[in-house]
Chains A and B, each alone.
Chain A
Amino acid sequence: MADGAAPTAAGPAARLSRDGLPLLLFALLAAAPFAGFGDGASLTLMARAMILALAATGLWLLVGGAGLISLGHAATLGCGAYAVAILDAHGITEGAIVFPVAILGAGLFAFLTGAVSLRTSGVHFIMITLAFGQMAFFTAASLAAYGGDDGYTLYGRTEFLGGRLLESRLVFHFVCLGALALVWALCRAVLASRFGRVLRATRENPLRVQAVGFSPYPYRLAAYTLAGMTGGLAGALLANATEFVSPAILAWQRSGDLLFAVILGGLGRLHGAMLGAFAFLLLEETLSHVTAHWRLLFGPLLVLAVIFLPGGLVGGLVGGRRKPGGPA
Chain B
Amino acid sequence: MSAPLLALRDLRKHFGGLAVTDGVSLEVRPGEIHAVIGPNGAGKTTLIHQISGTLRPDSGQVRFLGEDVTALPFARRVRRGLARTFQITSILPGFSALENAALAVQARSGSSFRFLRPAAAEAGLNREALAALAAVGLAHRAAVPAGTLSHGEKRQLELAIAIATRPRLLLLDEPLAGAGAEETERLIGILGRLRAEYGILLVEHDMRAVFALADRISVLAQGRLVTTGTTGEIRAHPEVRAAYLGEDEMA
A residues near B (Cβ < 8 Å) are 1-7, 189-190, 192-198, 200-201, 204-205, 207-215, 218-219, 222, 323-327
A-B contact list, 5 entries, CB within 8 Å: A194-B112, A197-B103, A204-B94, A212-B161, A213-B79
Contact flag A5-B126 (CB < 8 Å), given A193-B118, A194-B106: yes
Contact with B143, one of A5, A192, A195, A210 (Cβ below 8 angstroms): A5
Write the chain A residue with the least CB distance to B110. A194
User: In the bound complex, how far is the Cα of B73 from the Cα of A215, in angstroms?
Assistant: 9
Contact A222 B78 (CB under 8 A): no
B111 partner residues in chain A, CB cutoff 8 A: 194
Q: Does B120 contact A (CB under 8 A)?
A: yes
Closest chain B CB from A193 CB (angstroms): 5
Q: Is the CB of B90 within 8 A of A208?
A: yes
Total interface residues in chain B, CB < 8 Å: 47
| B99 touching A189, Cβ below 8 Å | no
Contact with A along B106-139 (1 / 0, CB 8 A): 1110011111111111110010001000000000
Bound-state CA distance A327–B103 (Å) is 13
Over the window 91-111 of chain B, the binary record of Cβ atoms lying under 8 Å from chain A Cβ atoms (1 yes, 0 no) is: 111111011001110111001
Cα–Cα distance between A207 and B91 once the two chains are bound (Å): 9
- Residues of B contacting A197 in the complex (Cβ-Cβ under 8 angstroms): 99, 102-103, 106, 112, 119
CA distance A194 to B91 in the complex (A): 18
CB distance from A228 to the nearest CB of B (A): 15
B95–A3 touching, CB < 8 Å: yes
In-complex Cβ contact of B94 among A7, A209, A325 (8 A): A325
Q: Given A7-B126, A211-B74, A213-B79, are A193 and B143 neighbors across the interface (CB < 8 Å)?
A: no
Q: Indicate whether A195 sits within 8 Å of B115 (C-beta atoms), given known contacts A3-B120, A5-B98.
A: yes
Given contacts A3-B99, A211-B83, A214-B107, contact A193 B74 (CB under 8 A): no
Task: Pick from A4, A198, A323: contact of B103, CB below 8 A.
Answer: A198
Q: Which of B84, B94, B118, B142 contacts A5 (CB 8 A)?
A: B142
Cα(A201)–Cα(B107), bound, Å? 12
Are B94 and A222 within 8 A (Cβ)? no
CB distance from A63 to the nearest CB of B (A): 15
Residues of the A chain whose Cβ atoms lie less than 8 Å from the Cβ of B79: 213
CA distance A208 to B161 in the complex (A): 10
A192 contacts B119, C-beta separation under 8 Å? yes
Would you call A192 and B90 a contact (CB within 8 A)? Answer: no
| Cα–Cα, bound, A210→B76 (Å) | 9
Residues in B with CB closer than 8 Å to A2 are 120
Across-interface contacts of A209 in B (CB, < 8 A): 103
